[in-house]
Every structure is written in structure tokens, then in C-alpha cells.
A = this chain, B = another copy of it.
Amino acid sequence: MKLLLRLSYLGTNFCGYQVQGDKPTVQKALNDATRSLFSCDCDITGCSRTDSGVHANDFCVTVNKKGSNSLETSIDTERIPNALNVRLPEDISVKSAAFVDEDFHPRYDVEFKEYVYLVYNGRTRDPFLSGRAMHFPRELSENDVVRMNEGAAFLVGTHDFSAFMASGSKVESTVRTMKYARVEKNGNIIKITLAADGFLYNMVRIITGTLLDVGVGKTEPRGVGDILASHDRTLAGMTAPACGLYLNSVVYPEGK
């Protein structure tokens, strides 16, 4: 059996998820903590890669002993989260641990992932949201948010999303299926929620930039559909900054 961990992390002080030499990354912190707890070198396989400054409310990794396909330990499974947390920096928290079949793969087995992008829509900055939301000071009204939702609706379904992929990215297919895409405003916080079976590089951040163009009236809602159909990155909006992006949940098929 492999160990499946669900964790959350504040990405601000990490150079992303994936190991990059000795730089502080989430994967490196997990390597160090699991080696200390289980007294062996472990392979940590993540559900995704997140960029520098990107956060996760729900991130899944599997842990197995290096050179093996399983992990053996006498530690009670329910004690593993806190036993790892005392070995991890404060900006990572293991929320739960469970043993899963050896053929489970945290990335390939994903049914869909939900990302949230947070925009702080206040005139003056909020120090509690520094590094945790994009500051967009131009006020967007309820009606602007309605139009953003009209634009977002064009993204739902199976499409070639190459207009919303960072230029220069290499990927076999740029077709993805978007389950839902919605925009909500609650006080000064605008929350953009997107769920899909997969995401292209910078896809959520480029969609956010494009929906903000709709919000301010630079792009009509139906323009989102036109941009999608064009497959042309240069027609979409700016790439919103990393700090507002959260991997919010990772869903596996039932029985996995």
C-alpha cells in the first residue's frame, strides 16, 4: 500500500511545488519530513505542479519508499498528519493520511480539479490579503459580475483552450473539459472558480485576466467565446499574478 496525504499550503515562501535542487519547495519539505518520520528515503508524487507563489487548499501526494512501490510503517495512520506537521514548515499542513492501492496515481487518476482565483476589489490595499489575492482597485459592480459570468459560461464544455495557455508551452493536446466556471462577489472579494479534467499552463490566470477585461467592459461576454474559438493567446487578457491562485480541490473517481 502507498500512503496518500491531503495537504494545504501557503505558497508565498515556496519556489513552487516541485523539487528544484536546494530551493525551498513543497516537495522538498515533504521529502525531508517523510525521511525523518519513516526513517527511509521516500518518493513523493504530487497531483499537480504549482508555480512559485501559488497556494493549495487541497493537494494530494502519494508517498512510497524509494525503489519500492509501497510504504511500511508501524505508526497509526491517524497520527501521521500531526507527526509530519511537526517536521514541516508552518506554511504546510498535512490534513489527512490514508493507505491506498499501489496502482493509485495522484496525477493520472484525477477526475477533475477545482481552482479558485481570488481578486481583492477594494480601492486601498488590504494588508491581510498581500500575497493571497490580486489587488484590482477599479470597482466592479454586481452587474459587471453578471457579465463576467456570462463570459465564463462560454468556457464550459470540451474545447481547445490554447488561447488560454502561456505561449511556448508544450503539451500533447490542448483540449480540456471544463465542468463549471463561475464568478462570485462577496463584499470586496471576487472569487473565480473553475473545475476541469485538466488545466493548461497558466490557464486559470489567463482566464482571470480575460474575465477582468469583461468586467471593465473592454471585452464583451461573447468575446470570451470568440477568443476561445480563435486559439490565439494574444487575443486573451493578461496573466493574473500567481498570488491569487489556489488549487482548491482534487477529486478522484469513486472507488479510487
Which A residues lie at the B interface, using CB under 8 A?
Answer: 8-10, 55, 81-82, 85, 90-96, 123-128, 130-132
Candidates B81, B90, B127; contact of A93 at CB < 8 Å: B127
Question: What is the bound-complex CA distance between A97 and B209, given in angstroms?
Answer: 31
**What's the least CB distance linking A29 to chain B, in Å?**
11
Question: What is the bound-complex CA distance between A123 and B9, given in angstroms?
Answer: 16
Chain B residue nearest to A10 (CB atoms) is B127
Question: What is the bound-complex CA distance between A82 and B9, given in angstroms?
Answer: 31
Question: What is the bound-complex CA distance between A46 and B90, given in angstroms?
Answer: 32
Q: List 24 A-B contacts (CB under 8 A).
A: A8-B126, A8-B127, A8-B128, A9-B127, A10-B128, A10-B130, A55-B128, A81-B123, A81-B124, A82-B123, A85-B125, A90-B125, A90-B127, A90-B130, A90-B131, A91-B127, A92-B127, A93-B124, A93-B125, A93-B126, A93-B127, A94-B124, A95-B124, A96-B124
Residues of B with C-beta under 8 A to A124: 81-82, 85, 93-96
Quick one: copies of this chain in the complex? 2
**What's the least CB distance linking A40 to chain B, in Å?**
23
Contact A91 B8 (CB under 8 A): no
Residues of B with C-beta under 8 A to A8: 126-128
Residues of B with C-beta under 8 A to A10: 127-128, 130
Question: What is the bound-complex CA distance between A125 and B90, given in angstroms?
Answer: 8
Residues of B with C-beta under 8 A to A85: 124-125
Residues of B with C-beta under 8 A to A127: 8-10, 90-93
Residues of B with C-beta under 8 A to A131: 90
Chain B residue nearest to A57 (CB atoms) is B128
Q: Which 4 A-B pairs have the closest CB atoms?
A: A90-B130, A10-B127, A91-B127, A93-B125
Given contacts A9-B127, A93-B124, 8 further A-B contacts (CB under 8 A): A8-B126, A10-B130, A82-B124, A90-B131, A91-B130, A93-B125, A93-B126, A128-B132
Question: What is the bound-complex CA distance between A95 and B188, given in angstroms?
Answer: 13
Which of A9, A93, A127, A132 has most chain B Cβ within 10 Å? A127
Which of A8, A94, A124, A132 has most chain B Cβ within 10 Å? A124
Residues of B with C-beta under 8 A to A96: 124
Question: What is the bound-complex CA distance between A59 and B49, given in angstroms?
Answer: 40
Question: What is the bound-complex CA distance between A8 and B127, given in angstroms?
Answer: 7
